[in-house]
Amino acid sequence: MKKYHLPLGLIGLFIVLTGASSLDLFSDYIQTVLIYMGINVILTVSLNLVNGYMGEFSVGHAGFMAIGAYITAIITTRVIPHFVFGAPLIPTGLYPPEVGTWAEGPVVHLVFPVILLIGGLGAALAGLLVAVPSFKIRGDYLAIITLAFNYIVKSAFENTQALGGSRGLTSIPRITTVPWVFFWAAVSLWAIRNFIYSSYGRGVLAIREDEIAAQLMTVNTRRSKILAFCTSSFFAGIGGGLLAHLLLYINPSTFSIFKSTEVLVMVYLGGMSSVSGSLLGAIAYTGLVEVLRPLDLWKWVLIPLLLIFLMLFRREGIYGGREFKFLLPKEEVRAYAAASD
C-alpha cells in the first residue's frame, strides 16, 4: 500500500485546495501568491532540465512562455468566442461583453487542460526550431541563440497588430486557480523527474558529464539534447498559459529577458540538477519577493545581495544535486542513500 501514499496525498491535497479556494478560505492576495509559486515551480524545474541536468545555458525561457501564453490566450479570447458567439477572430474595437462568459461555467475546467496542452506543444515546436540549428554546434552558442530568440519573440508580438501589438491581449478570462496550478506543478515535477531517471535522461546527464564519451556509449547526443530542450520548452509554454489566465492581460513586455533572468535566478537559488531544489528555489524566491514587498525599491538591493552571498558561500544553491526522498523514484532511493554517505 505504501506505493500509493504519495498519489493519495497529492489527490487529498488537491481536494483540500479546491475546497479551500471555493470556500474563499484564502484571501485573493494569498491565492495569487500561491499561484505564482506554482507557476514558478513549473518554469524553474523545466529550465533546470536544460541548465542543470544537461549543462547547457539557455537564457530565453520567457520566449517559450510567451508562445504558450499567446496561443492559449488566443484560444480563450478569440477562437472559442468566435465559435460560440460568432465574434470576429480579429476584433476591430473593444470586445463584445459576452466574450468572457463562456469561461464562467464548470465546463471550462475540462477544456482548459486541453488548451494548455496546445500551448505547451506550440512552445515545444518553437523549442524544436531553436534546438535543431543550435545543437549542431557545441559550446556557448545556445546562450546567444536563446537570448536572440527571446528578443525575436518579443518584437514579433510587438509588431503583430492583429495580436494587439505592444498592448497585447486583454480580457483574458480568469481560469487559473490554486488547485489547477498545484496540479500542473505536480505534473511537471513528476514528468521531468521521470524523464531524468529514464534512459533518455541518463543520456542527457552523460552529455553534461562528457559528450564524447556519451557518443561512444551509443547516446545519440544531438537527439537527446533536442528532446530535453523541447520538453523544457513544453513546460515553459504550460507555465506561460497559466500565467496569462492569472494576469488576465498579456503583452510582449511581460516576457522580456527580465522574466527569463528571474527564472534563472530561481534555478540557481534552488540548486542545479535537482527537482527538489527547483521546487524550493521557486517557492523561496516567490515568497521572498512578497515578504520584502514593504521595502519597496530596497527589495531589489536586498535580493541581488542575497544571491551574491549565496554564490559566495553556497554555490550549489539551497538543494543542488540532492533530492527529497518523496521526489525520487522508489528504485533510486536506496542508491541515493548509499551515494550520499
Partner 1 sequence: MPLLQIENLTHFFGGLRAVSNFEAQIEKGEIVGLIGPNGAGKTTIFNLICGLYRPTEGKITLNGANIAGLPAHEVASTGVGRTFQNLRLFRNLTVLHNIKIAQYSQINYSLADAFLRTKHYQEEEKKAEERAYQLLDTLSISHYANQLALNLPYGDQRRVEMARAMALKPKLLLLDEPTAGMSPAEMMRMAELIEEIKEKFDLTIFLIEHRMRVVMGICERIVAIDFGALIGQGTPDQIRNDPKVKKAYLGEEVVM
Binding site for partner 1 (CB under 8 A): 191, 194-195, 198-203, 205-206, 209-210, 212-221, 227, 321, 329, 331, 334-335, 338-339
Please report how close the Cβ of residue 97 comes to partner 1 at its closest, in angstroms.
42
Please report how close the Cβ of residue 225 comes to partner 1 at its closest, in angstroms.
13
Of 47 and 196, the one with the shorter C-beta distance to partner 1 is: 196
SS3 content of the chain, % helix, strand, coil (to 5): 75, 0, 20
Of 11 and 90, the one with the shorter C-beta distance to partner 1 is: 11
Of 85 and 336, the one with the shorter C-beta distance to partner 1 is: 336
Cα(6)–Cα(102) distance, integer angstroms: 35
Alpha helices per DSSP H over the chain: 5-22, 28-48, 61-74, 80-85, 108-134, 141-158, 178-197, 199-209, 211-216, 221-247, 257-270, 275-291, 299-313, 330-339
| Cell numbers 492559449: residue | 72
Of 74 and 131, the one with the shorter C-beta distance to partner 1 is: 131
Of 177 and 224, the one with the shorter C-beta distance to partner 1 is: 224
The cell numbers describing 307, all together, are: 544571491
Helix (H, G, I), strand (E, B) or coil at 126: helix
Please report how close the Cβ of residue 202 comes to partner 1 at its closest, in angstroms.
5
The cell numbers describing 300, all together, are: 531589489
Of 214 and 263, the one with the shorter C-beta distance to partner 1 is: 214
Task: Name which of 41, 50, 39 is nearest 281 in CA terms.
Answer: 41
Please report how close the Cβ of residue 203 comes to partner 1 at its closest, in angstroms.
6
Please report how close the Cβ of residue 222 comes to partner 1 at its closest, in angstroms.
9
Helix (H, G, I), strand (E, B) or coil at 250: strand
Cα(135)–Cα(116) distance, integer angstroms: 27
Please report how close the Cβ of residue 341 comes to partner 1 at its closest, in angstroms.
9
The cell numbers describing 328, all together, are: 525520487
Return the bridge partners of 250, or none: 169
Of 60 and 317, the one with the shorter C-beta distance to partner 1 is: 317
**Taking CA 230 as the corner, what is the angle to CA 225 and CA 231, rounded to the nearest 5 degrees?**
100
Please give the full DSSP string across 136-180, using - where no structure is assigned: TS-STHHHHHHHHHHHHHHHHHHT-GGGTGGG-B--------HHH
Helix (H, G, I), strand (E, B) or coil at 74: helix
Please report how close the Cβ of residue 209 comes to partner 1 at its closest, in angstroms.
4
Of 159 and 194, the one with the shorter C-beta distance to partner 1 is: 194
The cell numbers describing 142, all together, are: 545556445
H or E element: which one contains 256?
none
Please report how close the Cβ of residue 205 comes to partner 1 at its closest, in angstroms.
6
The cell numbers describing 169, all together, are: 491581449
Question: What's phi and psi for 137, nearest 5 deg?
Answer: -110, 160
Please give the full DSSP string across 262-285, using - where no structure is assigned: HHHHHHHHH-TT-HHHHHHHHHHH
Please report how close the Cβ of residue 267 comes to partner 1 at its closest, in angstroms.
18
Of 193 and 259, the one with the shorter C-beta distance to partner 1 is: 193
